[in-house]
Structure 1
Amino acid sequence: MAKSKTPGTQSFETGMLAYARSLQISEGVFFGIDGDKRVPVEVLEKGVRGQSSEDRARNPGLSNPQTVEFAVLPQGCTAVELAFSVRVLPMAMSPHACGSPSVATAYETLATSYARAGGFDVLAARYVWNIANARFAWRNRFQVDTSRVTVGFAGQVLVFDPARLSLDRLEDADTLAAALLEGDRTLLGQFISGISGGMTTAPFWFEVTWRGEMPPGQEIFPSQEYIRESKAEKDVSRIYAKLPRFHAGREIGHASMHSQKIGAALRHIDDWHGDDGYGPIAVNPYGGVQETADVLRRAKNSFYDIRKKADEVLAIVQAANSAEDLPGSVHFLMANLVRGGVFGSSSKAAEANG
C-alpha cells in the first residue's frame, strides 16, 4: 500500500517527470574566411602510420597504420568561423510530463517564484558569459591568437573579445561589458534580459558567430563521433561530425560541432558545487566532470538530494525579494530544469509520495 504524505507538505517527487530543454541549439558549422567569402570547411580522410603505444598493445612499439578523418582551414583563407543559433523557450516554467498533478503544481510554483525573484536573470547572465568567452569553440579556441564572438538578436549586434574573459571564474557585468568590441552595456543588458524572458515568457532567438585568425592548412577540430559499425568496417579510427552540403559542384561533408557539445559549454555555470579544486562545471544532476571522471555532487547536494526538501526550497524561493536571496542550491535546481531531461523518482520515492 502506498504511504500517505504528511498533510500540508509539498513534494517534487513522482515516478514520471520530464522537462524539455529551454535552450534549443542548432548544429554549429565551420567556415573558412577568404576575403568576403565563406568557404565550408570539409571533413576529409587520410591514412597515417602511427606507432602502437597503448598499455598492453598487441604490437608494442611497431607501426600502427590507420585511417582518420581530419579538417583543416582551406587554402586562401585567413580565419576560421564557427556559427550556430539558439532559440530560448520557456520550458522550465512547467514539466513536459509529470505523473502527479500536485507535483506539477509544486514545480510551477517554484518556477514562477524563481522568476519573480530574478533567478532567471542570474542564469541568463551566466549563459552570456560562456557565449562571450567562446567556450563553445572548445579546442579550436586555443588554435588562434585573436578572435571575436558576434551575437545578433532583434536587429542588434554585440561583439566580444573572448581573450578578455576567463574560462575559470565567472565574470561580473562590468568585466563582460569591458570585453565588448561593439555594443554597450545597455545593449548587453537587453541581450541578457532577452534570454531571461525567453526562459520565462516568450521565445527569444539569437545567432552566434566565433571567428579566429589562423593560417591556411592549420587543423580545425569539429565534434568527434563514436565509431559506427558501417565505418568500423573501413577501419576509420577517428570520425568527425559533418553535415551533407553541395559545394563547388559536389557533395561534401561540412565540418560541424554537435549542438550537445555547444550546449555543454553554455551550461558551464555550476560553481555552486562547493569543490575548491574546480571552477564552473557543466550543469548536470550529479556534478559529473567527464574530463576527469570526478563526481562533485555525491555528498548530499545532488539535484535529487536538493529536491527532496521541497517545503524548504519553496519557502526560500517564495520569500525571496531578489536574486541575492536565492542560494546556489536553488539556482542549481532550476538550471537542471532549464537543461531538461528525465527526472523521475525511484519507485520507493514515488511510492512514498503516494
Structure 2
Amino acid sequence: MELCSQLAYSRSLWPGKGYFYYVDNNGAKKALATDKTYLRSGKSSFTEAFSSNYAMKNTSVHDLATSNIQYIEECYVPPFVNEINCQFSLRIKANSTCPDVCNELNIKTILCQLSDLYADNGGYKELAYRYAKNVLMGNWLWKNQDCRGYSITIHLSDGELLTIKDAHKLDWNASWKEDDSDTLTQLTDFIANALADKSKYGYMDITACLAVGGGDEVIPSQEFIQDKKSKYPNRQFSKMKFNDQTDTVAFHSQKIGAALQLIDDWWLDDVSDKRLRVNEYGSDRSDVVARRHPTLANDFYTLIQRSEEWIDSLQRNHQITDEVHFIMAVLVKGGLFNKTT
C-alpha cells in the first residue's frame, strides 16, 4: 500500500492545560503565583572562551570572571503550605479507527480494516494500558514528581472515582499492589473502550496532590520568548487565569500529552527500559538520535506501507506484532501523513 497525497488523522487523546493551585486553611483554592528575579550568572559556556575548533578566544582573566544579568520568573510553594495540586482534563475519542481525511477510497478501506482487526484482537487495550500507567504514575508532572510524595485522583465521565494513594512509589516494570493494579485495570478498560468505539466518548478529570514544603520550587511549562525585551523576564512560565482572575502557573497541554505518549518501547528487538514518546521516526531527545531511522526499516512510513501484510497476519494468526502496535499508536497520536511529490 502506498500513501496517498491527502491523509490525516485527528488525535484521539485531547489533554487540557494543567493548572497548579493550593487550598488554604479556609478551604479556598488559591493560585500559585510567580516571582520575578534578577540573577547574576557567571560566564560558563564553551563559546565564552573557545571557538568551535577549540581555538582560544582573546579573553582576559577578568573577562571570564564577570557576570551576565538574567531576569527570570520563578515559582515557589508559599510558606506553611504542605500540599499543592495540579489538575487537567483528558478527552478521548476513537479517531484512529478511520482517517479524518483520505483522498483514495482503497487506502481508506485498508486502514479502516487494519484498525477494526486491531480492535477485535484487543490491541487498543495494550495502548490504553500504557496510557493509563503514565496517568496513574504521574509522569505528566515531569520534574515535579521529585517531591515528598503524591497521590492521583481521577473522576471518570461514567461517574467512577479512581484513586492511587502512593503514586510516587509505582514503577513501570514492577508489579503493583492489588488495589493499585485493580485501579489500573479499570482505567485501562475505560480508555480502551473510548479509543475503539466512536459511540463511547470518554472524559476524565485528573488531579495530583503533591506533598511539599514551604519554599519548594515548582516547575511548570516555560513559554518560548521570541522577542526578549529588557522589561520582561527572559524566562516566563505558562499561566492560566484562576477563579479570582489572578494568574496561576500551568503546564501546556502539549507537555502533558507528551508524557502520556511515552509508551514506545517497541523500537528494540529485546525488551527496552527506555520508552520513547510516540513519533514517526522514534525521536530520542535525550540521546539526540532517531531510533526509527528509515535505514532501519522500522519507521512509521515504512511500516504502514505493509498494512495489507499486517491485515493478513491478523486474520490468520490473531497475533498483534510490535510493528502494528506502533502504527496504531502513531494514528492515535494523529497527524498529517501525506505522501508529497
TM score, norm. by length of structure 2: 0.88
- AA aligned to 1:259 is S
Q: How does 1:1-354 map to 2 (within 5 A)?
A: 11=1, 13-35=3-25, 36-57=27-48, 60-142=64-146, 144-153=147-156, 154-160=158-164, 161-166=166-171, 169-170=172-173, 175-176=175-176, 178=178, 180=180, 185=182, 188-201=184-197, 202-229=200-227, 231-234=228-231, 236-245=233-242, 247=244, 251-274=245-268, 278-298=273-293, 299-321=296-318, 325-347=319-341
Report which of the two has the higher share of strand: 1
Aligned partners of 2:210 and 2:66: how far apart in 1?
38
CA RMSD, 1 decimal: 2.0
Cα distance change, pair 285–237 in 1 and its aligned pair in 2 (3 A): same
8 Å CA contact 1:43–1:242 kept in 2: the answer is no
8 Å CA contact 1:117–1:320 kept in 2: the answer is no
What stretches of structure 2 of length at least 5 have no aligned partner?
A: 50-62
8 Å CA contact 1:48–1:65 kept in 2: the answer is yes
Cα distance change, pair 198–264 in 1 and its aligned pair in 2 (3 A): same
Q: Between Structure 1 and Structure 2, how many residues are aligned?
A: 320
Aligned partners of 1:18 and 1:43: how far apart in 2?
40
Cα distance, 1:329 vs structure 2: 0.6
Aligned partners of 2:243 and 2:35: how far apart in 1?
15
Cα distance change, pair 83–246 in 1 and its aligned pair in 2 (3 A): closer
What SS does structure 2 have at the residue aligned with 1:238? coil
What SS does structure 2 have at the residue aligned with 1:131? helix
Aligned partners of 1:179 and 1:210: how far apart in 2?
18
1:137-180 deviation per Cα after TM superposition (whole angstroms, max 9, x unaligned): 000001x12211111112222212223322xx445xxx345462
Aligned partners of 1:107 and 1:177: how far apart in 2?
39
Aligned partners of 1:42 and 1:319: how far apart in 2?
58
Cα distance, 1:189 vs structure 2: 3.0
Cα distance change, pair 294–245 in 1 and its aligned pair in 2 (3 A): same
1:163-213 deviation per Cα after TM superposition (whole angstroms, max 9, x unaligned): 3322xx445xxx345462xxx72x543321111111121211111111111
1:80-123 deviation per Cα after TM superposition (whole angstroms, max 9, x unaligned): 21100101001001111112111111111111110011000110
What stretches of structure 1 of length at least 5 have no aligned partner?
A: 1-10, 348-354
What SS does structure 2 have at the residue aligned with 1:261? helix
Cα distance, 1:38 vs structure 2: 2.6
Q: Match of 1:6?
A: none
1:283-334 deviation per Cα after TM superposition (whole angstroms, max 9, x unaligned): 111110223212111111011111121221111233343xxx1111100000
Aligned partners of 1:317 and 1:12: how far apart in 2?
20
Runs of 4+ in 1 over 6 A off after TM superposition: none
Percent sequence identity over aligned pairs: 28
8 Å CA contact 1:30–1:82 kept in 2: the answer is yes
Aligned partners of 1:194 and 1:145: how far apart in 2?
30
- AA aligned to 2:149 is T
Aligned partners of 2:64 and 2:109: how far apart in 1?
61
1:67-92 deviation per Cα after TM superposition (whole angstroms, max 9, x unaligned): 10111112332112110010100100
Cα distance change, pair 206–95 in 1 and its aligned pair in 2 (3 A): same
